[in-house]
Structure 1
Amino acid sequence: MSITRQSYDHELENLRQEISKMGNMVAQAIGESVKALANQDVELSRKVMDGDDIIDAIEVEIEDKCMVLIARQQPLARDLRIIGTGLKITTDLERIGDHAFDIAKIAIKVSQEPLVKPLVDLPRMAVMAQKMLKDSLEAYINMDISLAEQVCQADDGVDDIYQQIFRELLTYMMEDPRTISQATQLIFVARYLERVADHATNIAEWVIYLVTGQRMRKN
């Protein structure tokens, strides 16, 4: 293998590691935003919101690296797929970061009022979505199609719990109009978590494409 090729492979691996690092930050942000909501922790909410700028900056850095690799190396076939899927995955991760920001913002909004109910299902939903995200990133790093497929299949479970939460909160609103404002905000949180799972599924689909060259829409 030529020194030039070795250097290029090293750059591609660094790219994948940077994407994995961004993914871990985003997964942590989701967990902390829901924890802040459940504990009505304003300080933690603000920490999550402040961290969104860092995530956005990392996205720009990764995009710049991808553009430089394309311009300098003019990649073909699998190498081009590595860079292209890197760009797509980074976009999904940035949007998950936005959802963490939105949940933290809601956590601050409802922090000064009693919660309409103890939050059990929302944290459980967050754990499920986080696992999907972490598994999709592991599948990406290891080029693991089997794990990517498992992520896609797990999306149905998150959808089910979203519907459960939606119905329960709707019942609260119908029984007591005073809960409408907060319950509506909690429905938004559930929707954001459902979207996190969708983005994790997108990442898994890109892994399948990266390895096989075949586009498979599971979401």
Structure 2
Amino acid sequence: MTVQFVHEIDRLKSLLLEQCALVEQTLRDAVRAFGTRDPALARRLSDAEIEIDRREVAIEEECLKILALHQPVAVDLRYVVAILKMNNDLERMGDLAGHIGDQAILLAAEPSLPVPPELPCMADRALGMVHACLDAVVGMDAQAAREVIAADDEVNALNRAVHRIGLETIGRQPQAAGHAMRLATVARHLERIADHATNIAEDVLYTLEGEIVRHRGLPPGPPAVNP
């Protein structure tokens, strides 16, 4: 392992951690804009999205440069590959923050209607997963990563509850259909954010243990056929 390689890995890690911090703050701003019906805050999210996209490209270029010039192996290779994958998940989280902001702008222009308590609870759980998965990245902490993966089931259950409540609301109050659909849309975005946090946690485990845990629950497929 050369001094130059160590320097470039350190730079890559620094870029990743800066992106993690920006994405987490953008998600928190999006949830706050939605919860407080703050269209001004929601509109400012677009600036953060642009910066997240710019940083995504810089991280990808750095990863590809390291792979091409240094041809890392073993844990170093897994680390760079995992960062490439995390980078994509972080960028998608930024996009989803923007989508939540879009819904906040629409809701702010409508009469105020009740929000089921499951939705802010879901937002809190999803943001907690994001914070925990990013902590797992910073500390390369396998146990923290496993806890993030385990938490995804609760967010999925809350998402189903919000959708069920929305359908019940539409049945009782057809005039509230637009409001209910917006809440369901935000719930879907939060569920996807939790999925991306889970993906990042799985990539931490891949880096540390060399095991791909994604899709572990799928039934075994046919054996590979060698050409």
Report if TM-score (shorter chain) is over 0.5: yes
Q: Which moved more, 1:51-60 or 1:13-22?
A: 13-22
2:134 to 137, 153, 174: 137
What secondary structure does 1:116 align onto? Answer: coil
Match for residue 108 of structure 2 among 105, 108, 111: 111
Out of 22, 26, 31, the position equivalent to 1:25 is 22
Report the counterpart of residue 208 of structure 1 in structure 2: 205
Who is 1:189 aligned against? 186
> Which structure 1 residue ranges, 5 or more long, are not aligned?
none
Per the alignment, in what secondary structure is the counterpart of residue 110 of structure 1?
helix
Moved more, 67-76 or 114-123: 114-123
Q: Deviations over 1:154-177 (max 9, x none)?
A: 111111111111111211111111
**CA separation of 1:61/1:112 partners in 2, compared to 1, >3 Å: closer, same or farther?**
same
TM-score by length of 2: 0.90
Partners of 1:152 and 1:85 in 2: how far apart?
16
Letter in 1 for 2:67: I
Unmatched tracts of structure 2, length 5 or more: 218-227
- Residue 51 of structure 2 corresponds to 54
CA contact (8 A) 1:38 1:119 kept: no
Q: Is the 8 A contact 2:136 2:144 kept in 1?
A: yes
Q: Contact 2:116/2:162 (CA < 8 Å) preserved in 1?
A: no
For residue 121 of structure 2, the aligned residue among 115, 119, 124 is 124
**1:188 maps to amino acid:** T
- Contact map agreement 2:79 2:207 (CA 8 A) in 1: yes
Give secondary structure in 2 for the equivalent of 1:215: coil
Please tell me whether the aligned partners of residues 52 and 101 of structure 1 are also in contact (alpha carbons under 8 angstroms): yes
- What letter matches 1:127 in structure 2? D
Match of 2:28, as an amino acid? G
| Alpha-carbon distance, 1:213 to partner | 0.7
Q: What is the identity, as a one-letter code, of the residue corresponding to 2:163?
A: F
Task: Tell whether the 8 Å contact from 1:208 to 1:214 is kept in structure 2 after alignment.
Answer: yes
Task: Say whether residues 1:150 and 2:147 are aligned partners.
Answer: yes
The offset of 1:123, in angstroms, is 2.6
**Cα distance, 1:137–1:125 mapped onto 2, change above 3 Å:** same
Displacement after TM superposition at 1:17 (Å) = 2.6
Q: TM-score, normalised by structure 1?
A: 0.93
Q: How far did 1:119 drift?
A: 5.9
Partner of 1:173: 170
Q: Give the direction of change, closer, same or farther, for the CA distance of 1:21–1:120 in structure 2 (3 Å limit).
A: farther
Determine what percentage of the aligned residue pairs are the same residue: 37
Partner of 1:160: 157
Distance in 1 (CA, whole Å) between partners of 2:122 and 2:204 is 23
Displacement of 1:107 in angstroms is: 0.9
Distance 1:95 1:30 in 2: 11
Q: Residues 63-107 of structure 1, C-alpha deviation per residue, up to 9 Å, x if partnerless?
A: 111111112112122211111100000000111111001010111
Contact kept in structure 2, 1:155 and 1:201, CA below 8 Å: yes
| Residue type at the aligned position of 2:41 | L
